[in-house]
Structure 1
Amino acid sequence: METDLGQNLPRPLTKGIFNINVEANPHEIDIEFVEGPEAGNTNFGIFRLEKDSLEICLDLNGNPRPKAFSTSPGSGHAYEFLRRSSNARPEDVQGGTAPPAKAHSFAANIAEFAFVDSPMLNRLQGTWTAVKIVRDGQELPAMMLRAGLRVATKNEIRISFGGQTMIHALVRLDESTNPVQVDYLNIGGACNGTVQHGLLKWVGNEPCFCMAAPGQSRPYDFTCTRGSERTLSQWRLKK
């Protein structure tokens, strides 16, 4: 493993072997450095992993591991809060064997996206006009917005611009979360067969979606900066 755990850890990048103990509370992590300026040293720490969020607190001096996820001047502890930006294995990481991708047939995906009636899904029915579209940090001009339509029938949607279908998908909602989690199973177009993950909130009576690109992790918020590959859209029910 190559690791760089923040500005407080030795640089340049070092190589090490880590062991974890998930039976402990909090979970424990030990890093034994095998190359670089820290070769031969071992750091003891704790970590907490919740979905795509990771917290790590390490002691840098070979002392007993920290008891809390915090640091202070003179403590010798390094604390980091990390968010996963991609599930893909980094190209420069060596060692170990990446697990094979799980095969998941399109038919299985279709079954997982079966229509389930709900108050939120009913609220999304009908034809909607585009209020705001931001794609990878680029906002669509107002003149082009007028050509945008989102048509929802049960859990099937078609999003088009100027009569050209851009997204044809089945929708799945998890209304127990805040914001609501939404998934698209693309059943047509260039992304046919792929799944996209996103978030849904209401701005007054207008639904606002932030969707990740196919294969990317679900967004944590409704930002849509350049390079994020996200699409932010807000819609108004057509009268």
Structure 2
Amino acid sequence: MAILVVTGTGTEIGKTVATAAVATVAAGDGRSVAVLKPAQTGVGADEPGDAAEVVRLAGPVTAAELARFPEPLAPATAARRAGLAPVGPGAVAEAAEKLAAEHDLVLVEGAGGLLVRFDDEGGTLADAARLLGAPVLVVTPAGLGTLNATALTAEALRARRIECAGVLVGSWPARPDLAERCNLADLPEAAAAPLLGAVPEGAGALPPADFRAAARSWLAPQLGGTWDASAFTARMQPGHPAV
């Protein structure tokens, strides 16, 4: 897996921290890692963006950003309002391929969900993934509503013949409610893909050294980690002695 595209089922669900966790584990295994943020929105020119946050948490990985737009909007809208050129799927794919020629793993982190528009022609992160022939990791929230959003994202991937690498819970609560516990068992079915981890809520606020020490325990072996989906899901089910 030279290139992995990371998308969310929405915004503010832990996608950047999840990307950092994957980068941390890969780098810890001695792999050279690059993270590509095609379109950063809602961040000023001198402020750190998502790619910089991955570097802060994960350590020495390469960060690349193709465009930055100041307003917190969909990339196409933000570019249009700023009077700047948008970033289309072709440019994203070209940049990712160049990074892949020099790195063992390239993580392409999208903006919001899979079908958010990147340009006025309707180009999306899904189009970039299809051009790359790259699998997509879907980061999703834990709570009520996540099954529908995850199923829709997975269906969109299948319709485009793009591989869904799996689903990752971007922010697992310290005190999960009934829906969150039950969703663990239902998410793989909704996505028709494996559950590949659960990043604890607040993980991004950890000191970087603590983040790097713990990241492997949040991710399944498919992502280089030690997290056991079956054991974690069973332990979190209502009625289990640990609950």
Shorter-chain TM-score: which interval? under 0.3
Structure holding more strand per residue: 1
Structure ranking higher on relative contact order (CA contacts 8 Å, 6+ apart): 2
Q: Which has the larger radius of gyration?
A: 1
